[in-house]
Structure 1
Amino acid sequence: MKIYYTGLNNSKMFCDDEENAQTVIEQFTEVPFAGIEDIDIGWNYMLLWRNNQLFVSGEIYLDASGTSNKVPVLLELSEETVSFKQAIAGKETITVLSTANEIYQYKIFERRWKKVMNFIHSNDDVNDDPPDHEYPVKIFQGGCTVALTNHGRVYNIPTLVEMPKRVKFVDVACGFDHTIMLAENGDVYSMGMGTRGQLGHGDLEDCDIPQIIEALAGLKVIQIAASGWHTAVVTDQGDLYTWGWNNNGQLGINVDDTKVFATPTAVDITNKDGKTIDAGVKKVQCGNSFTICMLADNTMWGCGSNKYGQLGMLKSTLESSTKFVELITGLDGNTVEDFKCREWGSVIVTN
């Protein structure tokens, strides 16, 4: 397995000729960390893991020395955390979901671990006998920390989100101040702030409880993504829909004069000659001001801002784009196992 990164960087794993951290990485570059199994990107540091150990690289200090190391530093886990299955690099906390389905947070500025106490309420809608134990299966972080449970309920930790009747959620995505939820039947719900149309309800109003996105009714959505103030989804037919803030063309709708789309809009991906690409979309990911998707033919396409090289292209070649353009990653698309976008950078995982 090899992992490649492009975008804004504070890690000294990527240095210039004077041994200073290379602030901007403009092309997908292999992360020089032997045995790496996964990575998450924070605002000013990278979180890497291998062999059930977490390592940190960047402008984050795990001791009082105030120095940033070139070699990633081992982050000692809480004594109670025997092993973990997910870790998130937040601005003020590193949040870990253990294999025992418990959540721990490392307070970066206090340099200490804290266990998140049990926040899950009894679920009267489940009639199992004996009752099925409910626990978090996945965690998310945007403007807040969100947990999805094995019963399909969502918590804005520690508060239970008001659940629509007979709806089970299977995935969640978070922007700065909005949350998108995918239901088991392919419906999409959203809640939070709507000032930039990011909720997809056709207006700019806020919504305190999950509300179904009516414009997607009749479609079966299989994947969701969100970041910043915009959202994207993929249907079972390989169609891509985006909505929200479009100040950098991150929706890929190819218009220059409309900054807000409050309703999901189908995106047509075309080649340089303006012809529609027949291959459907397999996956989409959102960064703060950009979006990347992979098509069924394993090509990767991106739109929005490339200010920090987050699209994996030289800034001299592509500053930004209001339409999806094919990304020249320098990698064989057939070897790509996964990819993800974070605030100002992107990651590709290959086999």
Structure 2
Amino acid sequence: RSIFYGHIDCVWSLLKHGVSLYIQDKEGLSALDLVMKDRPTHVVFKPTDPTDVYTWGDNTNFTLGHGSQNSKHHPELVDLFSRSGVYIKQVVLCKFHSVFLSQKGQVYTCGHGPGGRLGHGDEQTCLIPRLVEGLSGHNCSQVAAAKDHTVVLTEDGCVYTFGLNMFHQLGIIPPPSSCNVPRQMQAKYLKGRTIIGVAAGRFHTVLWTREAVYTMGLNGGQLGYLPDPNGEKYVTAPRQVSALHHKDITLSLVAASDGATVCVTTRGDIYLLADYQCKKMASKQLNLKKVLVSGGRMEYKVDPENLKENGGQKICILAMDGAGRVFCWRSVSSSLKQCRWAYPRQVFISDIALNRKDILFVTQDGEGFRGKWFEEKKKNSEKKEILS
């Protein structure tokens, strides 16, 4: 109440006596949450507004962009952007590097440089984000990245890739072992179509237009087509997924993980590319704004040197619609379900993030949540996915 009504002297006195700012009321709100909710309804945040970037977590691989190897337990400002007046609209964090896309279409990277994944023309490690000068003449609209490579889409539909090419995921002909500067993917393999989205997994890259999906890389089942009858394990040039080439299919969203690819159509159909198949996982999921996927199992015998027998993880698909609802599909349950919240109040989501272990959510009120999965067993043995 002291914070809500602006009695800062009372707040200071309570804090000196050890009162926690994070105690929650019956609706799961802390004192600071209540203050945030008290802002006028006409105050809205737009993607084009000036932005700041905060990062935290393990920093062993210099991915946080703070100029040191120290890990951060709490969000800290990446001051390079604020000092330079650069506003970021997209961030991709990977194991060995991070990619930042500015509102003006510039790309910055930091982290471990071996293999050329940073795109700076060398293999030097960067502790703070550095401009990828090879893209400075282009207005970039989207970035995607995986463990060893980076993919960049420009406003005019051109695709640039750089990094290690061990699995032919760069889409460059003839395939180099690596590329330390951005190189454009040859348009002749795309049949004149304009690319509108890109996605990346450790072993493959995905490009898509409104009418078609193209994949390339190591074919362990996640590319959307059968193994090559001649035993060729790599798809070097972008190849169209014929199972999704249909007059009734218009694509709206695509996502990729190390062992799976997910595609969403404007009709609300969700397709999963895994195990050398293209399966429809859900229908009539209209107005989806974002889809994510993690996990997947690659066929071990395709590349025993780089794949683990019985390796990989179960697939998890996360989707968010325009109403702020979140839906999940897991290979252990095989049906799409709406996520439930362990709060006695409604929570509307504006953004989601997913990795192998965690799920992150941002609400329309600016709150941040971390989620995890557990199974609730009912008397009739039915299991429900609960989001905690």
Paired residue for 2:250? 220
Give the direction of change, closer, same or farther, for the CA distance of 1:148–1:324 in structure 2 (3 Å limit).
Answer: same
Give the direction of change, closer, same or farther, for the CA distance of 1:67–1:119 in structure 2 (3 Å limit).
Answer: closer
Larger fraction in strand: 1
What is the correspondence of 1:137-156 to structure 2 with a 5 Å cutoff?
Answer: 137-143=141-147, 144-156=149-161
Give the TM-score of the pair, scaled to structure 2. 0.57
Following the alignment from structure 2 to structure 1, what is the Cα–Cα distance between the partners of residues 215 and 29? Answer: 35
Q: Percent identity?
A: 21
Paired residue for 1:329? 341
Give the direction of change, closer, same or farther, for the CA distance of 1:329–1:206 in structure 2 (3 Å limit).
Answer: farther
What is the correspondence of 1:89-104 to structure 2 with a 5 Å cutoff?
Answer: 89-104=93-108
Give the direction of change, closer, same or farther, for the CA distance of 1:63–1:215 in structure 2 (3 Å limit).
Answer: closer
The reply to whether residue 171 of structure 1 matches residue 174 of structure 2 is no
> What code does the residue aligned with 1:303 have?
W
Give the direction of change, closer, same or farther, for the CA distance of 1:149–1:223 in structure 2 (3 Å limit).
Answer: same
Q: 1:234 pairs with 264, 281, 299, which one?
A: 264
Q: RCO (CA 8 Å, sep 6+): is it higher in 1 or 2?
A: 1
In the alignment, structure 2 segments of 5+ residues that lack a partner are 1-27, 37-48, 61-65, 113-124, 163-181, 296-314, 365-388
Paired residue for 1:192? 217
Shift, 1:212, TM fit: 1.0
Q: How many residues align?
A: 256
Contact 2:328 2:339 in 1 (8 A): yes
CA RMSD across the alignment: 3.4
Give the direction of change, closer, same or farther, for the CA distance of 1:193–1:80 in structure 2 (3 Å limit).
Answer: farther
Following the alignment from structure 1 to structure 2, what is the Cα–Cα distance between the partners of residues 236 and 267? Answer: 15
In the alignment, structure 1 segments of 5+ residues that lack a partner are 1-27, 36-49, 121-132, 245-259, 270-277, 306-319
Following the alignment from structure 2 to structure 1, what is the Cα–Cα distance between the partners of residues 51 and 320? Answer: 29
Paired residue for 2:294? 287
Following the alignment from structure 1 to structure 2, what is the Cα–Cα distance between the partners of residues 236 and 286? Answer: 18
> What code does the residue aligned with 2:105 have?
N
Larger fraction in helix: 2
Larger Rg: 2
Give the TM-score of the pair, scaled to structure 1. 0.62
Shift, 1:113, TM fit: 3.8
Give the direction of change, closer, same or farther, for the CA distance of 1:55–1:149 in structure 2 (3 Å limit).
Answer: same
Shift, 1:281, TM fit: 7.1
> What code does the residue aligned with 1:56 have?
T
Give the direction of change, closer, same or farther, for the CA distance of 1:335–1:298 in structure 2 (3 Å limit).
Answer: closer
What is the correspondence of 1:1-351 to structure 2 with a 5 Å cutoff?
Answer: 52-60=51-59, 62=66, 68-77=71-80, 82-107=86-111, 110-119=126-135, 134-143=138-147, 144-157=149-162, 158-163=182-187, 164-183=190-209, 185-195=210-220, 197-203=221-227, 205-218=233-246, 219-244=249-274, 260=275, 262-268=276-282, 280=286, 282=288, 283-288=290-295, 289-294=315-320, 299-304=325-330, 320-330=332-342, 335-351=348-364
Contact 1:292 1:341 in 2 (8 A): yes
Shift, 1:171, TM fit: 0.7
